[in-house]
């Protein structure tokens, strides 16, 4: 079989592919798996009741269900849903946006595939442009979306040690270099994998750097405000003509609906719509059909504030308490959990790599994600990359407690 370079890129082993394969194999073999590694949101009964009622209303309304499943939306996405999102963001944040500022995609992953390849890769004049990640670790799903190799360049963070075995990553602005080869800057906020929330000051500095260098600032807001609002600290949302804000229905509780939301300058929105038409004709319509009424009414705000955010905050607090009990006597640190659905565990003096720990845990039925996958674009050697693991704490308490106990046992046994 003779593959193109693109085919070879798709066929190679990726971090996200390995994770999903391990989980599928374990489930197929009937293993009791403590799934602490994926990004699937929790099943929150009160939230799912809202979705069920919305779906029932869709079925009861004359022709709406048939329209949702039986007709293509425009390449930009469902117009009624887009109008509802624009209205919500105008009223909630005062953003000066309209329908021409919003496009839908088949999930956030598709949005980043489009955006990263719009702004990075071989360009006119022979320049090989890059996406700058000003802070690593960053989202595992970014790593392999480039049509060409090595589309990222990233920076090591400053590490601020906090009380109680917590720490926080901060952007090292003194070492941040924006050259002519940078096509865009991208950050996730809250950050996957660490739960870090960049401060308003950090975001304003990045915004200023992006504008002064004539490149867009892409903000991955998959866990942020106004929905799903899995954010446990104060953070002011940022949007202007030079930013591209990416949202999603996934962490709201609709991951299977595959609905990404991109808010940007109309020129960029038109490019996304054109790419949608080529890649998939149009975004899927079921997610927008289910969520449109709750966005239009503002119900989504109360649901995010009163159900989703407290649910995950309690989950995070529980997991931190379990780690404190199970890891007593071990040298560990936790990135202070400020949002998202993960804990980032740093094991500084572990005598094995995070990948070796991952393999040992897998044999005991615990799936995490080794930290080395979360540093795209960081070329320099840094031992920290092999000392961390990402833990999803959104499973039921029994699963989380059992999984964390086994992780602690394997960490202690490694010495």
Integer CA distances (angstroms), 300 to 47, 50, 229, 306, 307, in order: 10, 9, 10, 10, 10
Report how far residue 130's alpha carbon sits from residue 345's, in angstroms, rounded to the nearest whole number: 29
Predicted local distance difference test score (pLDDT) of residue 23: 61
When pLDDT is averaged across residues 10-34 and rounded to a whole number, the result is 67
pLDDT at residue 30 tops 60: no
From the centroid of its chain, how far is CA 237?
16
For the chain, give the percent of residues with pLDDT over 70.
95
Domain with CATH 3.90.1150.10 in the chain: 5-46+302-413
Whether the Cβ atoms of residue 371 and residue 386 lie closer than 8 Å to each other:
yes
pLDDT at 71 over 90: yes
- pTM for this predicted structure: 0.94
For residue 283, what pLDDT is reported? 95
Q: Which fold has domain 5-46+302-413?
A: 3.90.1150
CATH 3.40.640.10-classified regions of the chain: 72-299
Report DSSP letters for 137-181, one per residue.
Answer: S--GGGTT--SSS--EEE-PPEEEE-STTEEEEE--GGG----TT
Taken in order 4, 355, 17, 146, the sign of the CA dihedral is negative
For residues 236-251, average pLDDT: 96
pLDDT of residue 100: 98
pLDDT in tens, 304-352: 999 999 999 999 999 999 999 999 989 999 999 999 999 999 999 999 9
pLDDT digits (tens, 9 = 90+) for 111-140: 999 999 999 999 888 889 999 999 999 999
Mean pLDDT of the region 72-77: 96
In this prediction, residue 149 has a pLDDT band, given cuts at 50, 70 and 90, of confident
DSSP code string of 17-62: HHHHHHHHHHHHTT---EE-SS-PPP--HHHHHHHHHHHHHHHHST
Give the separation between CA 56 and CA 290, rounded to whole angstroms.
Answer: 9
Confidence label for 22 from pLDDT (cuts 50, 70 and 90): low
Residue 13: pLDDT band (50, 70, 90) is low
The residues, any chain, with a CB within 8 Å of residue 60's CB and separated by 6 or more, are none
Find, among 407, 210, 398, the residue nearest to 315 by Cα: 398
Dihedral of CA 293/295/298/299: which sign?
A: positive
Lowest mean pLDDT among 14-28, 39-53, 275-289, 343-357: 14-28
pLDDT of residue 231: 97
List beta partners, residue 178: none
All residues at 6 or more sequence positions from 168 whose CB lies less than 8 Å from its CB, including other chains: 159, 160, 162, 196, 335, 336
CA distance 340 to 195: 5
Residue 4 burial (C-beta neighbours within 10 Å; 0-12, 13-18, 19+): exposed
Does residue 91 contact residue 83 with C-beta atoms inside 8 Å? no
- Looking at 3.40.640.10, 1.10.357.10, 3.30.1490.20, 3.40.50.1110, the CATH number of the domain 72-299 comes to 3.40.640.10
3-state helix, strand, coil in the chain (%, to 5): 45, 15, 40
């Amino acid at each position: 079989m003779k593959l193109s370079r693109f085919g070879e890129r798709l066929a190679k082993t990726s971090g996200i592919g390995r994770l999903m394969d391990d989980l599928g194999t374990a489930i197929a073999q009937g293993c009791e798996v403590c799934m602490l590694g994926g990004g699937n949101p929790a099943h929150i009964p009160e939230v799912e009741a809202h979705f069920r009622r919305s779906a029932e209303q869709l079925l009861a309304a004359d022709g709406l269900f048939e329209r949702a499943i039986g007709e293509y939306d425009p390449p930009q996405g469902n117009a009624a849903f887009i109008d509802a999102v624009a209205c919500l963001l105008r009223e909630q944040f005062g953003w000066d946006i309209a329908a021409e500022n919003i496009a839908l995609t088949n999930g956030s992953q598709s949005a980043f595939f489009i955006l990263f390849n719009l702004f990075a890769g071989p360009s006119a004049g022979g320049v090989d442009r890059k996406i700058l990640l000003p802070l690593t670790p960053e989202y595992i799903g970014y790593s392999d979306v480039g049509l060409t190799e090595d589309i990222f360049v990233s920076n090591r963070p400053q590490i601020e040690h906090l009380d109680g075995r917590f720490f926080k990553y901060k952007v090292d602005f003194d070492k941040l270099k924006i050259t002519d080869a940078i096509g865009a800057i991208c950050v996730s906020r809250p950050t996957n994998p660490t739960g870090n929330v960049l401060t308003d000051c950090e975001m304003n500095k990045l915004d200023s750097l992006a504008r002064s260098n004539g490149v867009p600032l892409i903000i991955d807001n998959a866990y942020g405000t106004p929905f799903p609002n899995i954010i446990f600290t104060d953070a002011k949302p940022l949007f202007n003509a030079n930013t591209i804000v990416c949202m999603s229905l996934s962490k709201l509780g609709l991951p299977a609906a595959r609905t990404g939301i991109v808010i940007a300058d109309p020129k960029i929105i038109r490019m996304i719509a054109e790419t949608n038409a080529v890649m998939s004709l149009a975004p899927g319509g079921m997610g927008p059909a289910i969520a449109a009424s709750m966005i239009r009414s503002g119900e989504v705000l109360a649901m995010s504030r009163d159900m989703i955010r407290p649910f995950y905050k309690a989950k995070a607090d529980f997991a931190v308490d379990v780690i404190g009990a199970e890891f007593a006597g071990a040298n560990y640190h936790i990135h202070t959990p400020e949002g998202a659905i993960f804990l980032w565990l740093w094991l500084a003096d572990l005598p094995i790599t995070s990948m070796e720990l991952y393999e040992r845990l897998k044999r005991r039925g615990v799936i995490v994600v080794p930290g080395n996958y979360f540093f795209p674009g960081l070329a320099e050697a840094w031992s920290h990359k092999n000392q961390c693991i990402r833990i999803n704490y959104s499973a039921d308490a029994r699963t989380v407690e059992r999984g964390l106990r086994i992780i602690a046992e394997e960490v202690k046994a490694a010495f």
